[in-house]
Amino acid sequence: MDFSAVLTDSVTYSLEDLMGKWLRWAIFIVFALPASLIRFVINPKTFVASTGGINWSAIPWSQIAILCGVGLLLSFFITGYIVRIYRGVKPAPDFTGWTNLFIDGIKLDIVWILWFMPGIVITVLTSAEFLVSFTDTSGSNLSFLLLLSLLLIAGSILIIIALLFGILGVIRFARTNSISEGINFSQILTQIRTIGWGNYIIALVLFAVAAAIYFVVVMVIAFIPYIGWIFILVVNPFFTIFVARYFTLIYELGEQHQVSPAPEM
C-alpha cells in the first residue's frame, strides 16, 4: 500500500477544498465558533469560593447551555459535509442541500454512538462502582473487585474495537446510506481483512503521528495571546478534511483489492 500517495492526496485534497473557497472556509469557521466561545464565559477565577471549593452558582449555566446547544446543531452540518467526503466526492463538495447535510450529520453521529455506547457504558459504570468500593469503609469483597477489574478491561477492549471498526463503519454508512450497515461488524471485518490488518494498523499509526504533530502545532498556536484561538479556528478545517479524506482513501484501497468473483461458465 502506497501510504505516501495517500498522505499526499489527503493534504492536496484539503488544500484544494479550502484555498480560494472563502465562503466554504468561512462556514467551517463560523459553525465552530459557538464551541470556541465557551472559554470566554468560563472564568475559573470567579468560580472559586472563599473556602477553596467551587461556587457552582457563579457558573453561567444558561450561557454555556446556549453555546453548547447551538454548537451541537451547527456541528451536524459539518459532519454531514464529512459524509460527502466519505462518499468519495472529488473535487471536494460544496455546502449545498442543507437539509440533507443536517440529516446525514445526525446519522453519522448515531453510528459513532452505537459503536462506542457499550464500551463507554461498561467503563463508566464499572469505574463508578470502583470508586464506591474503595471509599466503602466496611471493606470490599476481593472477588467482587476482581470482577470489576475484568469488566473494566472488557469495556476498554470494546472501546478499542469501536475505534478500529467505527472508522470504516462511518464510511460504510456514507456509501450505503444505512445506519445498520455502518455497524455491520462482519462486513467491516471483511473490509479490514481485504485492506490487510498490517496495512490498516500502519495506516492508523501514520495517522496518529500526523495527528500528534498537528496537535503540537495547535498547542503552540493556542499560546499566542488574544488571537491564538482565532488561528486555531482557521486551521482546524484543514485537519478535519484531511482526516476524512485520509480514511476514505484507506477504505477505497480495500475496495480496490477485493477479489472479483469468477465469471460464470
User: Which helix (H) or strand (E) element contains residue 5?
Assistant: helix 3-18
* DSSP reduced 3-state for 17: helix
CA–CA gap between residue 174 and residue 248 (Å, rounded): 10
**137-161 per-position pLDDT tens digit:** 555 577 777 777 888 888 899 999 9
Cis check: omega of the bond before 91, within 30 degrees of 0: yes
Alpha helices of 60-184 — where are they, by DSSP H? 61-86, 98-135, 142-176, 179-182
pLDDT confidence of residue 135:
60
pLDDT confidence of residue 227:
87
pLDDT confidence of residue 199:
93
**17-45 per-position pLDDT tens digit:** 999 899 999 999 999 999 888 888 876 66
In this predicted structure, the answer to whether residue 265 has a pLDDT above a threshold of 50 is no
Amino acid at 68: C
Provide mean pLDDT across the span 52-59. Answer: 68
pLDDT confidence of residue 260:
44
Instruction: Confirm whether pTM is higher than 0.95.
Output: no
Number of neighbours of residue 2 by Cβ within 10 angstroms: 9
CA–CA gap between residue 43 and residue 58 (Å, rounded): 10
Q: How far is it between the farthest Cα atoms of the chain? A: 85
In this predicted structure, the answer to whether residue 108 has a pLDDT above a threshold of 80 is yes
pLDDT confidence of residue 91:
86
pLDDT confidence of residue 148:
77
pLDDT confidence of residue 51:
57
In this predicted structure, the answer to whether residue 196 has a pLDDT above a threshold of 60 is yes
**230-263 per-position pLDDT tens digit:** 999 999 999 999 999 999 999 998 775 554 444 4
Instruction: Provide, for the chain, the percentages of residues in helix, strand and coil under a 3-state DSSP scheme, each rounded to the nearest 5.
Output: 80, 0, 20
Question: In angstroms, what CA-CA distances link 130 with 50, 126, 137, 156, 158?
Answer: 32, 6, 13, 15, 19
Question: In angstroms, what CA-CA distances link 225 with 156, 236, 256?
Answer: 38, 18, 48
In whole angstroms, how large is the CA radius of gyration of the chain? Answer: 22
Mean per-residue pLDDT of the chain? 86
The more confidently predicted of residues 38 and 85 is 85
pLDDT confidence of residue 55:
67
CA–CA gap between residue 105 and residue 100 (Å, rounded): 8
* DSSP reduced 3-state for 52: coil
